[in-house]
Amino acid sequence: MLIRKPDDISSSEITPERVYINRRDFIGKSAGIALGGATGGALIGGAVGAALVGRPGRATAQASPGGQRDWSSVRSEMGEELTPYEDVTSYNNFYEFGTQKEDPVRNAHTLQPRPWTIEVGGMCANPGVYGLEDFIQPGTMEDRVYRMRCVEAWSMVIPWYGFALKDVIDRAEPLGSAGFIEFKTLYDPAQMPGQRGRVLDWPYVEGLRLDEAQHPLTILATGVYGRDLPNQNGAPIRLVVPWKYGFKGIKSIVSMTFTEEMPWNSWNRQASNEYGFYANVNPEVNHPRWSQARERRLGEFRRRETLLFNGYLDQVAGLYAGLDLRVNY
Amino acid sequence: MRRRLLLLKGLVWFLGLAPAVWLLWRGFTDRLGVNPIEEVLHRLGDTALIALLVVLSITPIRRLTGWNSLAPLRRPVGLFAFFYLTMHFLWYAAVDQTLDLEFIIEDIMERPYILAGFTAWLLLIPLAVTSTRGWIRRLGKNWRRIHRLVYVATGLGVLHFFWQVKADTYWPIVATTVLAVLMLLRFRWRRVRTRGPLPAVDPRG
């Protein structure tokens, strides 16, 4: 069994006992059903503070063998249950397919996620246009269980399948002058009927500061629950930044550009007093129209307290030392 | 004449109860979707606002068509609007916010759209209370004045709806347009009395 141990693990981030015990339980359950090249399940919790489930492996656009796995005993690093697959894939904000949560699952069948190309450009030494398989080639694929907190005050716990964004940043060799990365979603009203209206200024744009993008928690996901991403979840490849509000997780990405200037992300353009560039989950900084102090975890009755940086405080607080989070919301 | 009124009232009761029955059926058969608490909250709110717009359109329809037998429908439709608005507020307070007063008070004080909706509900309470024959008689001319608050409440309801959407303002724009057309008709009729005063209709029906 291969258990990846990144160099940046500090002793304080070793897998908590709760997760470790859960891991043994998990291995026991999954060993019998492991198929193909799988070497059985491993749960590497704590490497970057989030639950990493399953075998790290070669980067292919194939879904992980987790598709056949029993996910029922998998928990987040805080012991939270996963949001069911059906809920994760039928309650989506993806305005390219309609503005109601039920719209994307109904309408996203028009998207053709393969073949797919991604353009890497801007201030980097090694730009290029890649097919999906080539693009993700440097990545080490793994399952990661993350909380997902929407700016609308609801949340889920989702096992993504993907790799650290840093893996593809390193290949691009950003120049010293590059401070940010700007991502764009596909613009094609034929495939994305919601783009025929002007609800947002298409195509959807998101961005990260380079150090945020290089953070080990930041991933590009190609799957969920060990299966390929369904169209409504942003097939074939999307960003996941678990300490930020969900709208930062741009879907169906076609370009990645290194820039000197801070990218002007779509929701910031739509309403700059309501949605900032940083969009870090923060219970102290309310949306002008509603409270961010609590959230509804889908499937639960009573709202729960929202955690600063969505519970990833220890891992990411260092990125924002000296930054006024009320001004830079 | 009497029969037609009975039929119309039956229709109002049917249409008025249908949204509640529909929600109950969806609830008991697990058809409320991934976020059922929000779904019920929004559907109760939609229904209340639609019912308010229907109440306000009864008199214009009556003027345009001369169907004076519609007048007695204002009371049951208005009471259904109040019923759904009350359910909307109770669902918000008891289920959505699980009666956490600290958060409910913060919401009402600090979020303009919640204040607007809450005010609309408060304004409709005296109207619902004074909808009985006894109160209509006791208040005389003042009854009409008091019940003009329904315009204010509906306006606040539309504002409440508009203020909470993120980007897709389609339905709030539809609601605003309907209210604007209804108000314009009334102002026109108030100013230009060419058609003569409205025939007096007993609001008791």
Cβ(A114)–Cβ(A229) below 8 Å: no
Q: Is position A139 within any domain? A: yes
Residue B107 in contact with partner chain A when CB distance is under 8 A:
yes
Cβ(A283)–Cβ(B106) below 8 Å: no
Kindly tell me if the per-residue pLDDT of A313 is higher than 70. Answer: yes
Q: Is position A56 within any domain? A: no
pLDDT band at B3 (very low <50, low <70, confident <90, very high): confident
β-bridge pairing A253-259 and A117-122: parallel
Q: What is the CA radius of gyration of chain A?
A: 19
Which tokens in the block code for residue A303? 């709202």
Mean pLDDT calculated for residue range A295-309:
97
pLDDT band at B204 (very low <50, low <70, confident <90, very high): low
pLDDT of residue B29: 96
pLDDT of residue A15: 43
pLDDT in tens, B49-107: 999 999 999 999 999 999 888 989 999 999 999 999 999 999 999 999 999 999 999 99
Q: Is position A41 within any domain? A: no
pLDDT of residue A141: 96
Q: Is position A11 within any domain? A: no
Q: Is position B196 within any domain? A: no
Is-cis flag, bond preceding A203, omega within 30?
A: yes
Residue B115 in contact with partner chain A when CB distance is under 8 A:
no
The H-or-E segment that residue B183 falls in is helix B170-191
pLDDT in tens, A190-220: 999 999 999 999 999 999 999 999 999 999 9
Among candidates A152, A199, A289 on the partner chain, residue whose Cβ is nearest the Cβ of B111:
A289
Is-cis flag, bond preceding A115, omega within 30?
A: yes
Residue B27 in contact with partner chain A when CB distance is under 8 A:
no
Report how far apart, in Å, the C-alpha atoms of A256 and of each of A56, A59, A123, A136, A205 are. Answer: 24, 19, 11, 13, 10
Give the count of domains, chain B: 1
pLDDT band at B197 (very low <50, low <70, confident <90, very high): low
Give the count of domains, chain A: 1
- CA A288, A292, A297, A302 torsion: positive or negative? negative
Q: Is position B13 within any domain? A: yes
Q: Is position A304 within any domain? A: yes
Among candidates A91, A99, A301 on the partner chain, residue whose Cβ is nearest the Cβ of B34:
A91
Q: Is position B205 within any domain? A: no
Residue A227 in contact with partner chain B when CB distance is under 8 A:
no
Kindly tell me if the per-residue pLDDT of A45 is higher than 70. Answer: no
**Torsion-angle region of B98 (φ positive above 0: left; ψ -120 to 50: alpha; else: beta):** left
DSSP string of A55-80, one letter each residue: EEE---SSPPGGGGS--TT-B-TT-P
DSSP A317: G
Q: What is the CATH number of the domain that holds A139?
A: 3.90.420.10
pLDDT of residue A69: 81
Mean pLDDT calculated for residue range A117-130:
98
CA atoms within 13 A on the CB side of A45: 20
* Rounded CA separation A307/A246 (Å): 14
pLDDT of residue A312: 98
What are A91's strand-pairing partners? none
Residues A289, B164: C-beta atoms closer than 8 Å:
yes
Could you list the residue range(s) of the whole structural domain that residue B155 is in?
2-191
**Which residue in A has a C-alpha nearest to residue B162's C-alpha?**
A289
- CB contacts, 8 Å: A294 with chain B: 103
* Rounded CA separation A15/A204 (Å): 37
Mean pLDDT calculated for residue range B4-22:
94
Long-range (24+ apart) CB contacts under 8 A made by A111-115 are A111/A186, A111/A191, A111/A192, A111/A231, A111/A235, A111/A252, A112/A191, A113/A229, A113/A231, A113/A235, A113/A236, A113/A252, A114/A236
Kindly tell me if the per-residue pLDDT of A59 is higher than 60. Answer: no
pLDDT in tens, B106-129: 999 999 999 999 999 999 999 999
Instruction: Please enumerate in sequence order all residues whose Cβ is within 8 A of that of B114, keeping only pairs 6 or more positions apart, or say none.
Output: B107, B108, B160
- CB contacts, 8 Å: B98 with chain A: 301-303
Q: Is position A298 within any domain? A: yes
pLDDT band at B195 (very low <50, low <70, confident <90, very high): low
Q: Is position B201 within any domain? A: no
Could you list the residue range(s) of the whole structural domain that residue A309 is in?
80-320
Percent over 90 (pLDDT), chain A: 78
Total residue count of chain B as it appears in this document: 205
pLDDT band at B2 (very low <50, low <70, confident <90, very high): confident
Q: Is position A9 within any domain? A: no
Kindly tell me if the per-residue pLDDT of A37 is higher than 60. Answer: no
CA atoms within 13 A on the CB side of A27: 13
Mean pLDDT calculated for residue range A55-80:
74
Q: Is position B202 within any domain? A: no
Percent over 70 (pLDDT), chain A: 79
Q: Is position A71 within any domain? A: no
ipTM of the complex as predicted = 0.84
pLDDT band at A53 (very low <50, low <70, confident <90, very high): low
Amino acid of residue A101: K
- The 10 Å Cβ neighbour count of residue B185 is 17
Residue B164 in contact with partner chain A when CB distance is under 8 A:
yes
